[in-house]
Structure 1
Amino acid sequence: MTCLLAVALLMSVQSAHAEDGYDLWLRYRSLPATVLPAYRALARGVLAPAETATQRAARDELLRGLEGLLDQGPERLDAVKAGGAIVVGTPASSPDIATLKLPLEGLGREGYLIRSAKIDGHAAIVVAANDDIGTLYGVFHLLRLLQTTQLSQTLAVRERPDLQLRVLDHWDNLDRSVERGYAGQSLWDWQKLPDWLDPRYTDYARANASIGINGAVLNNVNASAQSLTPQYLAKAAALARVMRPYGIRIYLSARFSAPMEIGGLTTADPLDPQVRRWWRDKVSAIYRAIPDFGGLLVKANSEGQPGPQDYGRSHADGANMLADALAPHHGVVMWRAFVYAHEDAGDRAKQAYDEFVPLDGEFRRNVLLQVKNGPIDFQPREPFHPLFGAMPRTPLMMEFQITKEYLGFATHLVYLGPLYQETLRADTYAQGRGSTVARVIDGSLQQAGISGMAGVANVGSDRNWTGSQFDQANWYVFGRMAWNPMADARQVADDWVRMTFSNAPQVVQPVVSMMMRSREAAVDYMTPLGLAHLMGRGHHYGPAPWDAGSERPDWDPVYYHRADARGIGFDRTASGSNAVAQYAAPVARRFADLSQVPEQYLLWFHHLPWDYRMRSGQTLWAALVQRYGHGVDEVKAMRATWASLSGQIDPQRHDEVAAFLAIQQREAMWWRDACVAYFQSLSQRPLPPGEPAPSHPLSYYTSLSFPFAPGNTQ
């Protein structure tokens, strides 16, 4: 009995210290003994104002972080009496910072300085800004330096965001389902709002502020008009009160037909005076409830959604109507450029360009076009969208997907930092060499008055927020790159691993290596060599390259790979759809020329015979099969690496990741086998030497169905 009692006690202690991922990267655990004495000397006390809600958030976060990281509770000083003080504030809120006369010009509201300084002859660390929100961002940066053991005795950090709007788009429905969500129900418990404010809302705001995200669209782009009714505006206002101290503004997706559905009108024509008046009144009501409301996100005339084209009007007509209603309140319209006509236009990749480029310069100043990173739909790899650089008189806002709709949902380890970096650093040549996508969206290339980046959120009600431990890294890297589009994906991964798991080199190096290779692995076992959209129709779970027969061709994988007995790939050169011509001439020439096109985009732009000779000397068929196998091998290697870290990462999170990697390996093999079996049925080529046959006949893979795959609410 005594022995059993001891075991039970031990298990309860272990359970109390178990980690489930709730803390995200704000995991303030004691730092290594090698740095603790020096860091304690640098952070003996905190002097920070607490008069406003944002000031209190900054002070409380700093005290929470220091207590956890330094294994002690630094007392708050009433004055700087000794070295080792951390002094936080603005010239208006802190006499000490006012006295230092720091160079805060050019930092705006959100920028900040972190400096080593002398105050009354004593060493101090100063976090200074022009505005309270800047000090909050600075506090989170200082804590990151502590967490990652990068704090030094000489600090000279100067930061300001490159993009003005850094927004999470929640595809959350009012019934708490989440379209393309793989982390449980919606975070927003609409039924209990506005009276019950779940503490998770504050932790969500903290996490976003820590990486510089300053906006949240609460509801799905496939919006319900009910979101704009007084009942739901009161709920949104309650969430806005929670987010406000953390610098986060609330936005809503608006259904274009709302004047008819909840307003009693017979039309939603954007040029109709009654419709325009209805939107002005509705927007005024929103601002009465939410004085700092950010604006509206709109999906119109896409995938069956209503829009201005229903009335013979243009996207500019629709966006400008809403922009005029928002302008007196300093709100913005984020008008999505993800559109495609119901009729088959021959190449879906061309449709957004064809619809929007003729409208360049016709949008109001407070309208941003929200453009997906690629011309199709968040595929494992796409070339950058040709709209970037093609609309010099219109602000373009990047839209990335953080939730992994086409990348294995929550169970596949796919770090999206390399995908984001690949897109942002792509050169559009719109104004010559160096016209990167990052320079398009930050406004520096075309001097746009407003800039932004949106990410389709991957958070939900799961305890670990994102459905898996590693999907937290995609939320994290999105925020870091929205703040600085030229941030290095590897460095961001290094910070995240140190903050989330461990500072130990024997953990950091292999885990960062896994993360940096993971996206390329997924491309290889899903859509290698420029293939795209091979996922099962609708749910997008698993391979279905044979899928055909939908209501419209561009819903089917066969539309995108165009494989037959002769070859494979989508010809987008002048001999095909000529989508390549939508890019600037130097880019178009490179993509169209088989001797220059990067192999990663080969089959995106070219239809080639199975025996086409690759630069390696292999046939296309052999290279395709090899890429599929390489993707599987990379997952096996990731799984072995993670297994080797047992005992160096807490058991609960290590076990969860290990289980998910096992799922990923099995599903990567499924992808490989199903695609190889299907493409071999067309190519009629033998498998290359050393490549194993698929585990099952093709009929087995085509017979599989997934009517209840998660995240598909359509």
Structure 2
Amino acid sequence: MSCLLAWTLVLCASTTVRAEDGYDLWLRYRPVPAEQAAAAQPHTLSLAPQAGGPTVDIVTAELARGIEGLLGQLPAVTPRIRPGAIVYGTASNPIIAALDLPLSDLGREGYLIRSVTIDGGATTVIAANTDVGLLYGAFAFLRQIQTGGSVADLDIASSPKVALRVLNHWDNLDRHVERGYSGQSIWDWHRLPDYTPVLYTDYARANASIGINGTVLNNVNASATSLTTPYIEKAAALADVFRPYGIKVYLSARFSAPIEIGGLTTADPLDPRVQAWWRAKADEIYAAIPDFGGFLVKANSEGQPGPQDYHRTHAEGANLLADAVAPHGGVVMWRAFVYSEENPDDRAKQAYADFTPLDGRFRDNVIVQVKNGAIDFQPREPFHPMFGAMPKTPLMIEFQITKEYLGFATHLAYLGTLYEEALQSDTRRPGPGATVARVVDGSIDGHALTGMAGVANIGSDRNWSGSHFDQANWYVFGRMAWDPEAARARPIAEEWARMTFTNEAQAVGSIVEMMMASREAVVDYMTPLGLHHVMATGPHYGPGPWVADLARPEWNPVYYHQAGPTGIGFDRTATGSNAIAQYAPALAARWADPATTPQTELLWFHHLSWDYRMPSGRPLWSELVHTYDRGVASVAQMQRTWSALEPEIDSQRFEEVSTFLAIQQNEAQWWRDASIAYFSDVSARPLPAGVTPPAHPLAYYKALSFPFAPGN
């Protein structure tokens, strides 16, 4: 059966009305307005593939599916080029080569979409240097139609600026997802390798559509069992599904695996027996998965084993694994999220202190994976100082797509604004213009090994992400990873809204405004004015600024806000932890003075009196309460905006989003009430005049407990 015939049968079977349950993500391919369809149809009459193979077959199927869904016509498939054809092939094809297209600078994954004339007929060409580039180009062409763009006179060239665009799945072998809020893991390890449902193909397709080219299958808090032969075979089955979509699989490696599954008595990276064990393990993995991407490692952090157990450095640990995968072309992503209960210094300083002395001492196939901020995926953090301090070492930024600290799945928080804020931060080293994005894409320091990682929130829920709007965070991560310096949150939000909900201009505008304001609303009602890590411990669900009884100081919210009768905030200036000294002098000087510190990060860097006068003229205590109230009011505004969109949104998704916004409104109020009740109590200050008091006394909020919150 030909690819097109098989796809035609799928199309016929799917013409019945389907509920909009979110499974289709941004690849819904619903009909565009009649006038747009009429204008596009002369340019999409037929598909003329000039190559073959599994990936090109996928390109053909995707273009057929998209054009039929969007324009109401199923294009014919023939290698013969006719007027109105979409011609696609790689640079090695004679017909593509004869067009003399500028493909050499597009690299392995880039693509060109151009309107040309062939044999006197108007033709659309999708060209690339590889089949995977063609796949990315096909998705870009369909995105042009989905978002209301013209397909006449096209001239689009694009190539990724980051080499590794990777999802990190914090999925365990029992299908529990750490910090996951969308059901169980989609990896059914028990049924693998023999059972690979269409879900896995749909996962690969969604990732390819936004340029993601790698996936780490298992939790960074890894089980050594993941590296045993049966589980390598299971990972190989997934790799076989993902390969035609340009996606490599990676595994999180437990540093102590040579002891736990290898029968050794040590995991010392300088021990020849350990080195031999990892080389043999790498050989075994690559025999099963020839294009295996490599290892992700969390070591000497939060109780995980690592090289420091043997008085070795992180570089020596990373190089051990790098040497094992290097003969096969593999890489090691070594996480810099480290802090120690034995280190009394500010937690925000510890990763910098551990890693910057090692700059230039990692193997060429090691990339150090650094969280966007120095604490832990907070609603707002200053950029991690390591991005301005390790020019000799490739650094890979790590974001959370899952919303561990931003309301889980039920709070609408579009993270494109967070990603943009971090990426566009200027490290000021060696001078202005050295943005985090330019560090990540390698352009500042000339690194070829570059990467961006996102901790996924993909699970067994029918809508993939737990809520419909959480899909946008997956989408914007992929789009920004393609080009972190140029991509911006607002146009990507508009793109996603058009593809996911509607192309009606007014509705799109309203949805985008909701999205762009949403993360700031969460910051306001959770962590205003630079407060951070005030969430309840354990599940990180709800407020817990009063928690002070945990064994490790840096696990307690009181460690971070340091509120008391005289003031609030963490002093990271020279009079406190001096964490600002880890940044460039120009930034340190700016942040040393509360008057020149951005108000959004004020209490991150300063411990200030409750009476400190804010730019608004209000004292700090009043400003803090005002900001909590503003966050609650912002959610109410989102509810009103969404309610007005009912005529434009299908009923199922409209009701589900409405329900979640109602939950968010209640929980925003809870956050506001519990927080101001606590800070009023600890400061011994009354609420500012005219402020509505909390609904309950402080004891009520302290007594709340959620031991079975998801993702814990």
Flag whether TM exceeds 0.5 (same fold): yes
Secondary structure of the corresponding residue to residue 334 of structure 1: strand
| Per-residue deviation, 1:346 | 2.8
What's 1:125 paired with?
124
Q: 2:151, 2:144 → 1: CA distance?
A: 9
2:315–2:362 contact (8 Å) kept in structure 1: yes
Q: 2:26, 2:95 → 1: CA distance?
A: 31
Secondary structure of the corresponding residue to residue 541 of structure 1: coil
TM-score by length of 1: 0.97
What's 1:561 paired with?
561
1:50–1:56 contact (8 Å) kept in structure 2: no
Secondary structure of the corresponding residue to residue 386 of structure 2: coil
2:364 aligned with 1:385, yes or no? no
Amino acid paired to 1:170: H
Amino acid paired to 1:540: H
What's 1:619 paired with?
619
Amino acid paired to 2:453: A
Amino acid paired to 1:316: A
- Superposition map of 1:465-614 within 5 A: 465-485=464-484, 486-614=486-614
What's 1:22 paired with?
23
Q: 2:37, 2:98 → 1: CA distance?
A: 31
2:329 aligned with 1:330, yes or no? yes
Q: 1:18, 1:193 → 2: CA distance?
A: 30
| Per-residue deviation, 1:342 | 2.3
Amino acid paired to 1:301: N
What's 2:7 paired with?
none
Q: 2:634, 2:123 → 1: CA distance?
A: 47
1:49–1:56 contact (8 Å) kept in structure 2: no
CA distances 1:438-489 after superposition (whole Å, capped 9, x unpaired): 0111111111131000000010011000000000000000000000103010
1:104–1:129 contact (8 Å) kept in structure 2: yes
1:169–1:216 contact (8 Å) kept in structure 2: yes
Amino acid paired to 1:85: A
What's 1:58 paired with?
59
Q: 2:426, 2:582 → 1: CA distance?
A: 14
What's 1:261 paired with?
260
Amino acid paired to 2:240: R
Amino acid paired to 1:263: G
| Per-residue deviation, 1:50 | 5.6
Aligned sequence identity (%):
65
Range with bigger deviation, 41-50 or 282-291: 41-50
What's 2:144 paired with?
145
What's 1:3 paired with?
none
2:526–2:543 contact (8 Å) kept in structure 1: yes
Range with bigger deviation, 252-261 or 585-594: 585-594
| Per-residue deviation, 1:151 | 2.2
CA distances 1:190-246 after superposition (whole Å, capped 9, x unpaired): 010000101010000000000000000000000000000000000000000000000
Secondary structure of the corresponding residue to residue 202 of structure 1: helix
Q: 1:50, 1:456 → 2: CA distance?
A: 36
- Superposition map of 1:206-221 within 5 A: 206-221=205-220
1:570–1:605 contact (8 Å) kept in structure 2: yes
Q: 1:48, 1:175 → 2: CA distance?
A: 43
Amino acid paired to 1:69: L
What's 1:404 paired with?
403
| Per-residue deviation, 1:672 | 0.3
CA distances 1:13-64 after superposition (whole Å, capped 9, x unpaired): 9994321000000111111123111011221111114621111111111111
2:89–2:127 contact (8 Å) kept in structure 1: yes
Distance 1:568 1:362, change over 3 A: same
| Per-residue deviation, 1:88 | 1.0
Q: 2:543, 2:498 → 1: CA distance?
A: 35
| Per-residue deviation, 1:96 | 2.7
1:345–1:351 contact (8 Å) kept in structure 2: no
- Superposition map of 1:291-440 within 5 A: 291-440=290-439
1:537–1:555 contact (8 Å) kept in structure 2: yes
What's 1:285 paired with?
284
Amino acid paired to 2:586: P
Q: 2:348, 2:483 → 1: CA distance?
A: 28
Secondary structure of the corresponding residue to residue 602 of structure 2: helix
Q: 2:583, 2:444 → 1: CA distance?
A: 16
1:396–1:441 contact (8 Å) kept in structure 2: yes
Secondary structure of the corresponding residue to residue 66 of structure 1: helix
1:384–1:423 contact (8 Å) kept in structure 2: yes
| Per-residue deviation, 1:325 | 0.6
Amino acid paired to 1:628: Y
1:344–1:552 contact (8 Å) kept in structure 2: no
CA distances 1:385-432 after superposition (whole Å, capped 9, x unpaired): 000020011000000000000000000000000000000000001110
Q: 1:402, 1:78 → 2: CA distance?
A: 41
Range with bigger deviation, 448-457 or 69-78: 69-78
Matched residue count: 698
2:372–2:397 contact (8 Å) kept in structure 1: yes
What's 2:70 paired with?
69
2:332–2:366 contact (8 Å) kept in structure 1: yes
Q: 1:121, 1:398 → 2: CA distance?
A: 48
1:49–1:59 contact (8 Å) kept in structure 2: no
Q: 2:239, 2:330 → 1: CA distance?
A: 15
2:97 aligned with 1:113, yes or no? no
TM-score by length of 2: 0.97
Q: 1:108, 1:249 → 2: CA distance?
A: 18
2:254 aligned with 1:249, yes or no? no
Amino acid paired to 2:544: A
Secondary structure of the corresponding residue to residue 387 of structure 1: helix
Q: 1:404, 1:452 → 2: CA distance?
A: 21
Range with bigger deviation, 556-565 or 71-80: 71-80
| Per-residue deviation, 1:144 | 0.3
Amino acid paired to 1:140: F
Distance 1:538 1:576, change over 3 A: same
What's 2:451 paired with?
452
Q: 1:33, 1:637 → 2: CA distance?
A: 34
Q: 2:119, 2:106 → 1: CA distance?
A: 26
Q: 1:246, 1:555 → 2: CA distance?
A: 41
Range with bigger deviation, 14-23 or 550-559: 14-23
2:188 aligned with 1:158, yes or no? no
2:51–2:90 contact (8 Å) kept in structure 1: no
CA distances 1:576-609 after superposition (whole Å, capped 9, x unpaired): 0000000010111111112211001100000000
Amino acid paired to 2:578: N
Amino acid paired to 1:164: A
2:42 aligned with 1:41, yes or no? yes
1:402–1:475 contact (8 Å) kept in structure 2: yes
Q: 2:15, 2:242 → 1: CA distance?
A: 34
What's 2:199 paired with?
200
2:112–2:137 contact (8 Å) kept in structure 1: yes
1:50–1:59 contact (8 Å) kept in structure 2: no
Q: 2:505, 2:531 → 1: CA distance?
A: 37
Q: 2:488, 2:269 → 1: CA distance?
A: 43
Amino acid paired to 1:675: S
Amino acid paired to 2:345: G
Q: 1:81, 1:394 → 2: CA distance?
A: 51
| Per-residue deviation, 1:69 | 0.5
Amino acid paired to 2:561: H
Alignment RMSD (CA, Å): 1.1
What's 1:6 paired with?
none
CA distances 1:275-315 after superposition (whole Å, capped 9, x unpaired): 00000000000000000000000000000000000011110
What's 2:4 paired with?
none
1:96–1:119 contact (8 Å) kept in structure 2: no
Secondary structure of the corresponding residue to residue 533 of structure 2: coil
Q: 2:47, 2:694 → 1: CA distance?
A: 63
| Per-residue deviation, 1:688 | 2.3
Amino acid paired to 2:468: Q
Secondary structure of the corresponding residue to residue 647 of structure 1: helix
